[in-house]
Amino acid sequence: MDELKLFSGTANPELTQRIAELLKVQVGDMTVTRFSDGEVHVQVNQSVRGYDVFVVQSCPAPVNENLMEL
């Protein structure tokens, strides 16, 4: 699984952690910043070049905010 990077949205980090444990990989380092005007900034804090990248994000309420992270 060395070619795999797994990242978590903010909606369900517990699910991402459980998937990471099952796959025996670490959850990637990512920063999500929400601004007062509703904008979202997502920054991946490590290189993903050459990797298969998966982002785990469920979409409970507020659906629009959770989708914008993707």
Proportion of the chain in helix, strand, coil states, percent, rounded to 5: 25, 30, 45
pLDDT value at position 56? Answer: 93
Give the distance between the most distant pair of CA atoms in the chain: 39
Fold of 4-69: Rossmann fold (3.40.50)
Nearest to 6 by CA among 24, 26, 21: 26
Per-residue pLDDT band at 66 (split at 50, 70, 90): low
Q: Where are the domains of the chain?
A: 4-69
Question: Phi/psi at 48 (nearest 5 deg)?
Answer: -120, 5
Whether the full predicted model's pTM is greater than 0.75, yes or no, is yes
pLDDT tens digits for range 6-58: 999 888 899 999 999 999 999 999 999 989 998 889 999 999 999 999 999 88
